[in-house]
Each structure stands twice: as C-alpha cells, then as structure tokens.
Chain A
Amino acid sequence: MSDDPRTVLVADDDEDILQLVAFRLERAGYTVVTAADGQQAVAAAREHLPDLAVLDVMMPGLNGYEVTRQLRADAATAHIPIILLTARVQEADVSRGFEAGADDYLRKPFSPAELRSRVQAILARRSSVR
C-alpha cells in the first residue's frame, strides 16, 4: 500500500453490506466513500474520483448496471474499475454486468477477504499498466 491511501467507492442500499464492506476495506488501508443508492453513487464517483468502485446490482433508482454505464460514458469516471456485487448467479446477469463495463463481480453472500483480494488485484493490475 502506498502512503497515499487509495479511495474506494462502495454503493449498496443495504446498510449492513455497506458497513461490512467499508469496515474490511478501511482495515485494509483504503479510504472508503459510501453511497446508499445509484444516484448517490454516480454523484460520489464524480466528486471523489475513486480508484475503484464496488457497486450493488440491485439498487433503487439506478441499478448497478446503469451506474456502470453512466460512469463509463463520462470521460472523468470512465477509467474507474468496477466490481459488481450481485445476488444473482445466472450467467446472463454476469454477462450483462460485463457488457455494461464492469471489471469483475462478486456473488452475495460474500466473503470480505475475497472482496479485499479482488480489490487489491484489480488495483495492482491498474498500477502495473500505468
């Protein structure tokens, strides 16, 4: 981890998930910004320009796919890697996420350690590309 902590945006309408994800990522040294719905997530991404976003698929207002599309369509946020958190396990839903522009997905119920590993892997990959 560099001296400058990486910022991760976590968006989920389930407060418990928000707390669990935020707690684990903060313990791993990340700065966490939270959002409780899709609109807040888009606004927070534009304001904070996080290094990575973890988005729930089923959120009120804008769902995770739509947030992903909006972030990809905006030049300022298009580069942000996105992990989708989904309770849906069907192949079609996973491919829908990738088609929208997500980099990875994680199935709910989730393992916080696995989430942290995926966040680390994606950020490390991005750093090595730059």
Chain B
Amino acid sequence: MIELLQLFGAALSVLALATMFVLVGRRVALSRRERRRARLEAELRPVALALVDGEEVDLPRLGTAEARALAAILGRYARKLRGEPRERIATFFEERGDVQRELRRVRSRRSAQRAAAAFALGDMGSDSAIEALIGALDDRARDVRSAAARSLGMLEAEAAVPRLVGSLAEHEVPRAIAGGALLAMGSRAAPGLRSLLDADEPAVRANAIELLGFTGDASDADRLDAALREDHAIAASRWREFAEVRAAAARAQGRIGTRRAAGGLRAALNDPAPFVRTAAAHALGRIGDRDAFDALARQAGDDLYDPAQAAAQALAAIDPVRAMRLGGDEGASPHLAEAAALAELEPA
C-alpha cells in the first residue's frame, strides 16, 4: 500500500514538473513572438507612416510575418485617422487582396472567424465591405453582430443607420457598441436618424431621438417638440415605451440647446411620467430658461425624488441668486435647499 502511495506521489511530481516545463516553454515562446512582432513593427513603422502620408513607397517584398505586422500597424492607424490617409489604407488592403479575403471569411461557418473578419474589415476602411457588414448585423452570433456594428461605425456607413438603430432597439447588439457606432458617424448619421422619427416602434423612435440629440442641430427642434408632446393616453401595457420617447425627446432638446424648445419642455414638467419630468427639468437647466423658474421651484418642492432633484439642479443653473434665496428660506423643502447649495457652487 505504502509503495503504491509512493508511486502515486512520484507520478504526481513528474506531472507537476512536466506542466511547469510546458508553461515555462509556452511563456518563453510567447515572449519571443512578442519581441519579434515589436521588432518587425519598429522596422516597418516608417513604411506605414509614409504610406499613410501618401508618399511613394517602394514596398519591399514582405514575408507573411512582415505583411501581418504592417497590416496590424495600418489597421491601428485607420482607427485614428480620417480623410485621405484612411482612404490610402483602404486602397492598400484592397490591392493586397486582404479585403476580399476577409469578405470571404465573414461568411465562414465558424462564428469566431466571422467575428474576426467583421472586426478586421472596419480597420481596413474599405467601403466595399459595407454591404456585407450590414448583412452581418443579422448574424445569429452576437459577437459577429457586435463586430459588424463597430466596423460600420468606423466606416461611417450612413446606409447602415436604420439597421443599426433597429439593432439598438431590439438589443441585438450591446447598446454601447451600436450607440458608439452611430455616434462615431457624427452628423452623417443625422439624416438616417431623422427618417426614423416616424417609425412605428416606439423603441426605435426613442433610440433615434436620443442619438439625434448628439448628432442633430437646431433644425430638429420642431420634430423633437412634436415627439415630446406625443399622446400621453396610451394603453397601460405600452405606456412606458411611449413615455421613453418623450423622455428621449426632452434629453435631445436639452443637448441641442435651442431656446425654441423651451415651451415644449415647460409643458413636459406636467408629464404623468416622473422620468419625463426629470429629463425636462435637466433640459431646461441646460437651456437656461428663466421662464421655467417658478414651475421648476414647484417641482423641486413637491415632486418625487428624481424630478425634484433634477429641478433643483436646473434652478441652480438658471438663476443661482434666486435659487439661493429660495432655498435659504426657513421651511424650504430638502431639494430647494439643495438648489441653494448647488447655486453657491455656480461660478459668479
């Protein structure tokens, strides 16, 4: 029995030693590979910079590792550049056949391959990938859809706006990725977002409105105002969805910041949904609407916690002196006192 245990112990020791050797060997190999990659990148960086800058480059004959290193540098540069340098990077990848290769890989049977290809196509910056990437938003794998959304944002693909907003509304792609992709397009996304303001689904409308707050301009104020006044009398089962549209419209008006929005936002302080009143108060504070002061003071005094707090912040931003006076009164509600305290922090 003892011999058997000794034998078992020895076997375990051998196994542990073998595992250790494998791990050390793997670590050495990885660090060697990393050093080689860093050396190659250092050698090829001047070539990549010259290519991006539009200089005539006599590209040396590249081995597989060199070509991969150069593509990695250019892919990283593409994420940080726009304009002609990005177009040059796209041309480089198109001429090498890399775009075609990734377009084939995006139809691979393995989802990891499809996701990697969708991601790489964004870095390559070629518009020829847009159609395939929009198609990849319907992929059954979430990773593939996410990579496609991110790449469409990088390509500033206006044609993808409606589908991206749909992905956002249906939670097919993480909110941060789909939203980030649309924001990356900036004002180029605005026309597509405007076309979705009449969409049937309230979730699509709410997301389009929210994003229009970042990418739109003062010309959107009237349509956002209409969204803010959408009928409150909706069947109870869908009440929240429609209220989300109004809240998004209030936030968008606040971000765009035109004074034309003030009337609708003041009316929204009477909205039955507390989160719409919260959004309206914040927006009025951003716009600095003095006509809303009394209504906001009432909201800060009487309303539920969130709308009252938002009203307090708005009061401090709109008229710090009046807010201090109001909140300093004996018997002022906690949120009016908060408004006074916040007002003291406002720059004179």
Chain A residues packing against B (C-beta within 8 Å): 14, 16-17, 19-20, 23-24, 27, 89-91, 108-114
Contacts and interface: CB of A to CB of B under 8 A. Distances in A.
Contacts of A112: 52-53, 81, 83, 85
Contacts of B79: 109
Nearest to B78: A109
B81 A110 contact: yes
A108 B186 CA distance: 11
* A contact face: mostly helix, strand, loop, or mixed: helix
Contact of B214 (A90, A109, A113): A90
A113 B81 CA distance: 10
26 contacts: A16-B73, A16-B76, A19-B45, A19-B49, A20-B77, A20-B80, A20-B81, A23-B49, A23-B53, A27-B53, A89-B186, A90-B214, A91-B255, A109-B80, A109-B81, A109-B82, A109-B86, A110-B81, A110-B82, A111-B81, A111-B84, A111-B85, A112-B52, A112-B81, A112-B85, A113-B84
A113 B80 contact: no
Contacts of A91: 255, 257
A111 B83 contact: yes
Nearest to A21: B80
Interface string B70-94: 0001001101111111100000000
A24 to B, nearest CB: 7
A19 B76 CA distance: 12
A89 B183 CA distance: 9
Contact of A89 (B82, B85, B214, B257): B214
A12 B183 CA distance: 23
Contacts, number: 46
B120 to A, nearest CB: 17
A14 B183 CA distance: 21
A114 B183 CA distance: 21
A96 to B, nearest CB: 13
Nearest to A16: B76
Contacts of B214: 89-90
Contacts of B86: 109
The contact size tier of chain B is: 20 to 34
Contacts of A24: 53
Interface in B184-238: 186, 214
Interface in B46-84: 49, 52-53, 73, 76-77, 79-84
Nearest to B186: A89
Given A24-B53, A89-B186, A91-B257, A16 B83 contact: no
A108 B82 CA distance: 8
A57 to B, nearest CB: 14
A16 B80 contact: yes
Given A16-B80, A90-B214, A109-B82, 14 more contacts: A16-B73, A19-B49, A20-B49, A20-B52, A20-B81, A24-B53, A89-B186, A91-B255, A108-B80, A111-B82, A112-B53, A112-B81, A112-B83, A114-B83
Contact of B80 (A27, A90, A110, A114): A110
Interface in B19-55: 45, 49, 52-53
A110 B77 CA distance: 10
Contacts of B82: 109-111
B183 to A, nearest CB: 7
Contacts of A14: 80
A89 B80 CA distance: 15
A90 B86 CA distance: 24
B87 to A, nearest CB: 11
Nearest to A26: B49
Interface in B80-118: 80-86
Contacts of B80: 14, 16-17, 20, 108-110
A14 B52 CA distance: 17
